[in-house]
Structure 1
Amino acid sequence: MKTPPTGTSRLLRDLRSLNVVVFHPDDTDGQELIAQLRRIGCRVKAFWPPRERLPEDADLVFLAVRPEVASFEPGWVKREDSPPVIVVVNYENPTMVESVLRMNASGVVASPVKSFGLLTAIVVARSQAERERDRLRYISKLEQRLASQRKLAKAKTILMQTRAVSEEEAYRLIREQAMTKRVTTEEIADAIINANDILSFEGKA
């Protein structure tokens, strides 16, 4: 029986299907970075200067931080589904550090780029990005669940007040309607809340 691949082995295996965007000047260092990525097996698209829009199939971005692009802050950097960014730096000062933080970088490699450490930087950056996406998805699901529970609680309160029933009976009525109409209890709760709001508004008119 084969052992299921670990997260690390999967990330390593996926390198040959990785679409990498390289924002780097067309100099010796940039050419070496591209050559090393291709030796690893990645598919590479290179541009300079950096673009405001990424290719749709981008899985990873390498970005050279240079003085002329220190203020570069494209919209895709802040998107939850944006690919991880590894910055390439050839100097250190407060402005550069600020640029790295602003790019929400998942990794940093020093220029001139060496083959040693590049593979690790890619795997770590992608692993961190996956964990962050998982964390955001988990938070989003929790928020949706809490919002649904609040709606359900409000709908039950409305039924309890308007029909003089218990909380248990109010919930039973909501579930019964949901099953009859083949919708979720949240949708029924929404309908109850909206109807109550309309009736309350008409009563005040």
Structure 2
Amino acid sequence: MAINPLAQFSRLRLLVVCEPDEDGQSLLRHLQRSRAQVRHQWPAPDRIGENADVLFCEYGPGLGNRLAWMPGEAEAALIVLLPQNVRLDYHELHVACPNAVLSRPYQPHLIDAAMLLAFDQFAFFRRQKTRIARMEENARAMRDIEKAKQLIMRRNRINETEAFRVLRDMAMKKRVTVASLASKLVDTSDSLV
């Protein structure tokens, strides 16, 4: 017995913005079998993709500008539904930045493949974005710690090792991290200048 790959998506909110023709109805029925929360909107609203984890959206002019997020800041996996026998504006498609595309007529195995690909790619993008944010936060903390050590070294006329020990001891007494204490010290010294 074949296992439905979409079963793992039962907790997701799917938004389908497509014409309710035969292909659109077929897509909706297939997605509803996943037991996910499936909403259908037609005609397409001015802002597309709010309150969704995965967005299935008809290709059309201005799609990238109608999405509910800024380019590169996607809040949902995007699957663009391509029309049959229509010339595509590839720049327009590029601006929308889809995670997958699906062309008519929609076939169940291709819907599943597009959904898996889009959601996996979107999840990877989110993990990378979180990792980058943590790295930036760590770099900012290291800069603040270095500046705080310099302040302590100048104020107490001690070397770098002793300055870090003073900073660490102060953080332990106040029960805060060295990074947060260093940030406060730097902010305070900047405001005095």
TM-score using structure 2 length:
0.86
CA displacement at 1:12 relative to structure 2? 4.5
The answer as to whether partners of 2:144 and 2:179 remain within 8 angstroms in 1 is: yes
1:144 aligned onto 2:104: no
Determine if contact 1:20/1:43 at 8 Å carries over to the other structure: yes
- Letter of the 1:120 partner, please give it: A
| Closer/same/farther in 2, CA of residues 71 and 40 from structure 1, 3 Å limit | closer
Give the C-alpha shift of residue 28 in structure 1.
1.9
Helix, strand or coil at the partner of 1:25:
coil
- TM-score norm. by structure 1 comes to 0.81
d(CA) in 2 for partners of 1:47, 1:121: 20
Decide which of 114, 117, 120 is 1:124's aligned counterpart.
Answer: 117
Secondary structure of 2:108's match? coil
Instruction: Name the residue aligned to 2:95.
Output: 102
Displacement of 1:176 in angstroms is 0.9
Give the residue type in structure 1 aligned to 2:35: G
> Could you say what the CA RMSD is over the residues aligned between the two structures, in angstroms?
2.3
Percent identical among aligned pairs is 26
Q: Using the TM superposition, give the Cα deviation of residue 102 of structure 1 relative to its aligned residue in structure 2, in angstroms.
A: 1.7
Are the structure 2 counterparts of residues 42 and 174 from structure 1 closer, same or farther at C-alpha, using a change threshold of 3 Å?
same
Q: 1:13 to 1:25 in 2, by over 3 A?
A: closer
Choose 106-115 or 37-46, whichever is displaced more.
Answer: 37-46
User: For this pair of structures, how many residues does the alignment match?
Assistant: 188
| Aligned-partner Cα distance in 1 for 2:50–2:191 | 47
- Aligned match of 1:186 in 169, 179, 183? 179
1:41-88, Cα deviation, whole Å (9 max, x unpaired): 3331000233315453x2211001135x55643232547461101001
Distance 1:198 1:20, change over 3 A: closer
Greater share of helix residues, 1 or 2? 1
Output the CA distance in 2 between the equivalents of 1:114 and 1:13: 17
1:6 maps to what in 2? Answer: none
Residue 153 of structure 1 aligns to which amino acid in structure 2?
E
Q: Secondary structure at the match of 1:75?
A: coil
The residue type paired with residue 57 of structure 2 is: L
The residue that corresponds to 2:9 in the other structure is 15
Q: Tell me if structure 2 keeps the 8 A contact 1:22–1:45.
A: yes
1:25 equivalent in structure 2: 19
**Secondary structure at the counterpart of residue 85 of structure 1:** strand
2:146 matches 1:153: yes
Distance 1:187 1:70 in 2: 43
